[in-house]
Amino acid sequence: MGPLLPPFLSFASGIALGDFLGLGYGASIGALALSVAFVALLYSLKFRFSTLALIPLFFSLGSLFIIPFSTPEFPTNHILNIVRENPISQRAGSLIEGKVDSIESTGRRTRLWLDTDGFIDKTGRKSVTGKVLLSINGRMELLPGDRVRLLAMLGEPHTFGNPGEFDYRQWLKRRGVLVTGYVKSEKLIERLQEGKGPSSLIQRTRMEIARFIDSSGAYYPEPLKALVISGQGGIDRALREAFAVTGTAHILSISGLHVGMVAAFSYWVMLFIFKRSERVLLALNAKKTAIILAAVPTLIYALLAGLPVATQRSVVMALAFIASFAIGRGKDHLNTLSLAGLVILAINPASVWDVSFQLSFGAMASIIILVPRFKELLGKSSEDSTEEKDKSAKKAALIFFRKRLLPLLLVTIAAGVGTSPILAYHFHRVSVAGLAANLVAVPLAGVAVPFLLVSSALLPVSEALAWITLFPADMAFSLLAGAVTLFASIPYASLWVAPPALHEVVLYYMLIFSAAHLGRARVYRYAAPAAAALLIALPWALDFKEPRSVLRVTYLSVGQGDSAFVELPGGKTMLIDGGGTNNPDFDTGERVVAPFLRSKGVERIDYMVLSHAQQDHMGGLLFVAKNMEVGEFWWNGEGDLGKLETALDENRAMKRIVNSSAEKLNAGLARIEFFNPSGGLGLDENDNSLVLKISFGERSFLFTGDIAGKAEKLLASKHLKSDVMKAPHHGSKYSSTADFLSMVKPSAVVISAGRLNSFGFPHREALERYGEAGAEAFRTDTMGAVIIETDGKNLLKKSYLTAGEP
């Protein structure tokens, strides 16, 4: 174990725990003082010193370093304060000025990171500070360093507010962004001054490389650009999904793998050149010189990539390894990795939460720890092979396997072992085809990336030479894309899984580390089986519970749409609607509904219910139907299900048309009734919505779809009385009539609406009617997911953003 590994792990743990506990400067500085005193005491008493004694010191340092990121302090003229004082800026827009920090364009949109310095309103220009992330319709030809003035709708970043979702607001906060904005058109942006300096020159070079690749006739221009100048926005969605399914998505994002490829390629090229000259070999240590010089193209590659955060970390890691080889410590890999980790976290402590950081270090640490152990288990390593070099084909094939294929195989296995729990935790997915796919994809990427870099270097000299060297890169990636697509088409190439709990991830790595060190120290003989036993027993013990005896409904926050997940007493599940948008780049089912379901360990939907076939109710169901088992599908029989019907047929779900003529159903201890008319009454699509009531004991929940006044009159029934009602049509003006509320008599109404939606839902008059009816109103646009459960007698009501998770 490298001596720097304990300090690195304790520093990272201090960052994470300090943020979680909200430790302030007082507690962190106090802990740091005690740690220094402890180390000084050990030194003065002449105890045998070990880096293990530094664990408290680095832990307290970690908790201290994260404070500016977790609880940032900003001046009164920060753009966040200006936005809060001018709420109209969220709708009408505001004029702001600033300098472009970075820019990323996709096919339809541009993301602009702007360091603001001016806010203009009717009183004049105000000096401001703070970074803003802007989303712009269309592509922009701006450069870092450009000063611009633009009209943007500004606001604080927000999340939907559901259990299990990615915390986008926290992600931005850790990058110093407290305000986001939207610019309707590039015409609303005025360039005040062109940027100058190195950053603008680099961006112009990147734009020239992009232009060249676009015009080169390459089969895969967008992925090729992603491999040399970064950015995946223009890559075909189907291709990106194929890479995700096969566990090769890391190839499309410039990271440690790509930086390592460039460093290794540069080293071998320079070493080859040096070996051509006897004078150079006599004058220099060729290997060390080649290693040191390899840092130059590595840095150039990082600059061409635009220095995104993940690439910056990868460069630090690469430079650390280059330096260790240069000073003769090249075999101390774990120590070098730990040192790189300490440097990266000291520069930016928030990196500890970045998936790319976790994946890079998980993969590298596993390779460093496991590959030597694998070789020991397999006998002599390929490098130490002393087999006779006869000319038989069998022997040649064996040597080729041992020297070329076996190392790649072992590295791929080790990287997979190290990254699988991280991928499962963040993306809820494990690739079964990942091992085989990476064995093909990584070598082909190793061909494409160096040729792309050489092509980019030759571009200022000759476009013809640049095209000649681009051709092999394009061919390599074409083979890569074909292989990945083939692997992705294999049934069960990827499995969706529930995210592991944090303690399961920790136990997993304890088990791997201990197993790799069996026989090296007595402690590992006990640690490995103990970790294995806990890994098996703890999840079972923590998850063990009596059969569910409550009815719980989670009204998901899906923007301007509806979705509710029902956990029925006895264990069965129901999903009523799935939300949806008209934005082709955002799948509500994939980004909102499915992560919530997986966070709860749901693998099967017993009853999928569609109130009516409109996108804001139906859109998110498609992804769920494609990726989870569905028992039955209930709907009103009106409209076109489109691709959802195909997915349900492939899922072998039983489809049922239900209305008021349908019989009452029992789902365990719950009763389900339907109230929507059977059709033929001239109602529109909204008023034809499926209406159902779920009862358990003395309590009941009414789901109303998008019905309005006309349908509400037709539903007059004493059986409508319910304790909780999902607001009809998102709380619109002409729904939730006084007569309807007098029939339902709800004590709580849940309104599913989008934040600052253009329809003005929920309408003020509807809210007033809820208050007059004595119903407590819950809103997903301001409260996030609303969770209401009952044991048949009592009601427990909570909202995720304001009261935590029940």
CATH assignment of the domain containing 778: 3.60.15.10
Residue 228 in contact with residue 304, Cβ under 8 Å? yes
Give me the domain span that covers residue 769: 551-803
Q: Are 740 and 595 in a shared domain?
A: yes
Whether residue 429 is contained in a domain is answered as no
Single-letter residue type at 746: P
Who's near 427: CB < 8 A, 6+ residues apart? 244
**ω into 762 cis (within 30 of 0):** yes
Beta strand pairing call for 94-105 and 109-121: antiparallel
Predicted pLDDT of residue 383 = 47
Q: Which of 475, 496, 517 is the last residue of a domain?
A: 496
Distance CA 191, CA 189 (A): 7
Single-letter residue type at 715: L
DSSP-derived letter for residue 138 is: S
| Helix orientation angle between 5-21 and 333-347, rounded to the nearest 10 degrees | 30
What residue spans of 620-731 are helical by DSSP H?
621-627, 643-650, 709-714
Q: Are 190 and 218 in a shared domain?
A: no
Residue 11 in contact with residue 61, Cβ under 8 Å? yes
Q: Are 263 and 362 in a shared domain?
A: yes
Predicted pLDDT of residue 382 = 46
Contacts for 743-747 with beta carbons within 8 Å, 24 or more apart? 743/715, 743/716, 743/717, 743/718, 744/702, 744/720, 745/721, 745/773, 746/702, 746/722, 746/773, 746/775, 747/723, 747/774, 747/775, 747/776, 747/795
Beta strand pairing call for 94-105 and 147-155: antiparallel
Distance CA 485, CA 403 (A): 28
Whether residue 444 is contained in a domain is answered as yes
| Backbone φ and ψ of 73, nearest 5° | -105, 135
CA distances for 39 relative to 33, 44, 596, 779, angstroms: 10, 9, 46, 54
- Residue 93 CA to its chain's centroid (Å): 29
Q: Are 636 and 532 in a shared domain?
A: no
Q: Which residues pair with 704 in a beta bridge?
A: none
Predicted pLDDT of residue 746 = 96
By residue count, the chain amounts to: 806
Distance CA 683, CA 638 (A): 11
Q: Are 189 and 104 in a shared domain?
A: yes
- Residue 749 CA to its chain's centroid (Å): 33
Predicted pLDDT of residue 521 = 62
Whether residue 288 is contained in a domain is answered as yes
| Helix orientation angle between 463-488 and 434-458, rounded to the nearest 10 degrees | 170
Who's near 350: CB < 8 A, 6+ residues apart? 66, 69, 174, 175
Q: Are 736 and 760 in a shared domain?
A: yes
Residue in 452, 488, 442 with CA at minimum distance from that of residue 242: 488
Q: Are 625 and 702 in a shared domain?
A: yes
Domain tally, the chain: 5
Predicted pLDDT of residue 526 = 60
SS3 assignment, position 722 = coil
Whether residue 622 is contained in a domain is answered as yes
Q: Residue holding tokens 């009261």?
A: 803
Positive or negative, the CA dihedral 628, 629, 633, 638 is positive
Q: Are 371 and 480 in a shared domain?
A: yes
* Mean pLDDT split into 10-residue runs, the chain, 806 residues: 84 93 88 88 72 86 92 89 75 87 79 94 90 88 90 90 90 91 90 86 89 93 92 83 92 88 92 86 86 93 85 88 82 88 93 91 91 79 48 68 77 90 90 92 93 94 94 96 95 88 86 78 64 66 62 96 95 95 89 93 94 95 95 93 95 92 85 84 86 96 94 82 96 93 95 89 95 95 95 92 53
Q: Are 262 and 331 in a shared domain?
A: yes
Here the tokens at position 587 are: 């799948």
- Residue 240 CA to its chain's centroid (Å): 14
Q: Which of 39, 70, 101 is the last residue of a domain?
A: 70
Q: Taking the CB of residue 532, how many other CB atoms lie within 10 A of it?
A: 16
Q: Are 244 and 366 in a shared domain?
A: yes
Predicted pLDDT of residue 623 = 95
Q: Which of 496, 516, 532 is the last residue of a domain?
A: 496
Distance CA 245, CA 348 (A): 31
Strand locations in 209-274 (E) = none
Residue 142 in contact with residue 112, Cβ under 8 Å? yes
Single-letter residue type at 286: A
Distance CA 740, CA 712 (A): 6
Q: What share of the chain is helix, strand, coil (3-state, %, to 5)?
A: 50, 15, 30
Whether residue 428 is contained in a domain is answered as no
Q: How far apart, in Å, do the first and last CA atoms of the chain sit? A: 42
CA distances for 613 relative to 563, 580, 610, 618, angstroms: 13, 11, 7, 6
Q: Are 318 and 443 in a shared domain?
A: yes
Distance CA 43, CA 47 (A): 6
Contacts for 269-278 with beta carbons within 8 Å, 24 or more apart? 270/294
Whether residue 425 is contained in a domain is answered as no
**Full DSSP string of 644-678:** HHHHHHHTTPEEEE--TTSPPEEETTEEEEE-S--
SS3 assignment, position 546 = coil
Distance CA 586, CA 108 (A): 13
Q: Taking the CB of residue 505, how many other CB atoms lie within 10 A of it?
A: 18
Distance CA 573, CA 788 (A): 15
Distance CA 76, CA 288 (A): 53
Q: Are 363 and 415 in a shared domain?
A: yes
| Backbone φ and ψ of 147, nearest 5° | -95, 135
What is the model's pTM? 0.85
Whether residue 426 is contained in a domain is answered as no
Whether residue 64 is contained in a domain is answered as yes
**Full DSSP string of 36-65:** HHHHHHHHHTT----GGGGHHHHHHHHHHH
Residue in 361, 356, 334 with CA at minimum distance from that of residue 255: 356
Q: Taking the CB of residue 544, how many other CB atoms lie within 10 A of it?
A: 7
